[in-house]
Amino acid sequence: MDETAEVQALLDRLQGGDQGALGELFSRYRERLARMIQFRLDGRLKGRIATSDVLQEAYIDALKRLPHFQTVPDMPFLIWLRWVTMQRLVEVHRQHLGAQMRDAGREVALRPGGALSASSEKIADFIGDLTSPSRAAERAEAMDQLREALEGLDPTDREVLALRHFEELTNQEAAAVLGIQPAAASKRYVRALERLKGALERLQGSEE
């Protein structure tokens, strides 16, 4: 039985009321959910909040929300599970940061629907972490250009970029998260890369 058939068999069990199937499905997607948490977690909470703790709470939430999933059978399970995990992560931010989440200048901002936005600063930091710190002055200037280019992106284009690159979702999965058509998600992704091309090339050049 291939992976798709195995997942479908587990989903059939889940729809039939077998809660044990949820644990098996959650285990399959655990690493992908962990990537989302690590990318979306506010920098001020790193070292204070463990990814494993968020995942544990998200699993409990998923158990409680199973009746909801059973009413939306057309929603891809990973997208539903990501939504549940995102709601738990938003709650973690509210518990620890409170009113600071409402400050538009902060790293944490909420998109419509209660999801944590992918900020320009967070994306730039993740890209910067992939490069070495040689030629510090040139690298700092290139990073400033990258942040400026990211800030100039349409928020949805920025989200598509984050979903595809940092959460490693497929184009169809990213489209499902954002509630847009796959063709539109693909177009936005290409547009975002084009807008960032110069900044990325300059950053890469500063490391040579």
194 φψ region: left (φ > 0), alpha (ψ -120 to 50), beta (else): alpha
CB 199 within 8 A of CB 206: no
pLDDT at 131: 59
- The better pLDDT of the pair 72, 193 is held by 193
Partners of residue 116 on adjacent β-strands: 110
pLDDT tens sequence across 96-134: 887 666 544 444 555 555 578 888 877 887 776 655 555
CB 108 within 8 A of CB 116: yes
Closest CA to 151 of 128, 123, 174: 123
Give the Cβ contact number of residue 92 at 10 Å: 21
- The better pLDDT of the pair 205, 126 is held by 126
pLDDT at 106: 47
CB 142 within 8 A of CB 206: yes
Q: Which domains does the chain have, with CATH numbers?
A: 1-101 (1.10.1740.10), 117-208 (1.10.10.10)
Phi, psi torsion values for 151, nearest 5 degrees: -65, -30
Partners of residue 49 on adjacent β-strands: 46
CB 52 within 8 A of CB 30: no
pLDDT tens sequence across 71-101: 876 788 999 999 999 999 999 999 988 766 6
Residues near 15 by beta carbon (within 8 Å), at least 6 away in sequence: 70, 73
Residue bearing tokens 């499902």: 176
